[in-house]
Amino acid sequence: MVAEARGVIMNGVTGRMGYRQHLLRSVLAIRESGGVELPDGSRVQLDPVLVGRNRARVQEIAERHDVKRWSTDLAAELSDPANDIYFDAQLTHVRHASIVQAIEAGKHVFTEKPIATDVSGALSLARAARTAGMCNGVVHDKLYLPGLRKLKRVVDSGFLGRILSVRGEFGYWVFEGDWQPAQRPSWNYRAEDGGGVVVDMFAHWNYVLENIIGAVEAVTAKAVTHIPERVDEHGQVYRATADDAAYGIFELADGAIAQINSSWTVRVNRDELVEFQVDGTHGSAVAGLMGCKVQSRVNTPKAIWNPDLPEQNVYRDQWDEVPDNAEFGNAFRAQWEQFVRDVVAGRPHPYDFLAGARGVRLAELGLQSSASGRRVEVGELTL
């Protein structure tokens, strides 16, 4: 039974994230399956309208995917009462103005992260959203990944005992663009365009740590630009003004220490592009995008340091895989469905603008730590 259709303004669908993850894998996949299922078994269908600056590109995407509504006029779409939700996957530095417009138009707002380029901008959006009283959410996609959902299950079960430390390794080699095209947009490497691995990834690490292990209370970080010159989408050489690697230490509530390397200048020798090892008094876990494996205290083999003998242990084989026990689906789609259910129910979305602001703040403090060479405490962020 289809109960109703909600108009969704999608801004930034010509971009990498907006197109692949949000339009194709989320909103169109939901539309294809008949809408978001509600607790009473009824469904809410989504009716997207694609908005962008380039008429030809927006029209082409709309026609390719049988999306009837598209426009280059955001203000007109915002003034249409048929549109209930505004979604933003534009470049970070142009997001603020569009979200302000959407809030003023009384729309519910879901947005890519980082919500803003600085904490004051993020907080001003969080305040405006609270005053307007509409549902607001920021993409927290990593929390919906199978590997991290299983890690959360392991942590919540108490299997790990007291958590001591987290070791996170994120990254891969992003081509410089000279003899092979780069697999990320060039703005990622220009600070003036909102780029940088700290701004990009610390926003993720903040919510991953906060929701699975513990809130970040202090940060010490070193951000570096290892590759100073790259080649852009048009074959032009440009100066990389943003950091392409960051080495961070995060002190968490309850005393655990997280060390996370974030890098676009590392070659992969891991099972997955992101991996977190969590060690506790009673057990350990290693989680990636998809998998999560554990080793308990009683099953911990005795490792002995002996540089005179070849290694006898196959350490990777000494772990047990945590079963899925569920179908997880696409992480972005899962959060879209939760956001739509929250809109329909008229309740707050748990990963709101204030949570997004905390992510922006961690990036800001990480850069501050790197520039000053000092540890920086993270206080409470209130509206």
Q: Which residues bind ligand NAD (CB under 6 A)?
A: 12, 14-18, 52-53, 89-92, 94, 112-114, 139, 141, 185, 187, 200
Closest distance of CB 276 from ligand NAD, Å: 16
Closest distance of CB 141 from ligand NAD, Å: 5
- Residue 35 or 52: which CB sits closer to ligand NAD? 52
Q: In this chain, which residue has its C-beta nearest to ligand NAD?
A: 15
Distance CA 196, CA 274 (A): 18
CB 148 within 8 A of CB 212: yes
CA 381 vs CA 28, 196, 311, 357: distances in Å? 36, 23, 49, 8
Neighbours of 233 (CB within 10 A): 11
* Identity of the residue numbered 171: G
Distance CA 156, CA 289 (A): 19
- Residue 264 or 294: which CB sits closer to ligand NAD? 264
- Residue 13 or 154: which CB sits closer to ligand NAD? 13
Measure the CA dihedral 140/20/244/118, to 10°: -50
* Identity of the residue numbered 348: P
Residue 137, SS3 per DSSP:
strand
Q: Give the strand pairing for 69-71 and 108-111.
A: unpaired
CA 104 vs CA 72, 97, 128, 130, 138: distances in Å? 19, 11, 9, 12, 18
Q: List all residues 6 or more positions away from 261 whose beta carbon is below 8 Å from its beta carbon.
A: 168, 169, 170, 171, 245, 246, 247, 248
Count the alpha carbons within 13 Å of 143 in the hemisphere toward its beta carbon: 20
- Residue 35 or 168: which CB sits closer to ligand NAD? 168
Closest distance of CB 128 from ligand NAD, Å: 19
Closest distance of CB 380 from ligand NAD, Å: 25
- Residue 26 or 83: which CB sits closer to ligand NAD? 26
Closest distance of CB 139 from ligand NAD, Å: 5
- Residue 280 or 339: which CB sits closer to ligand NAD? 339
Closest distance of CB 74 from ligand NAD, Å: 9
Closest distance of CB 44 from ligand NAD, Å: 23
- Residue 90 or 206: which CB sits closer to ligand NAD? 90
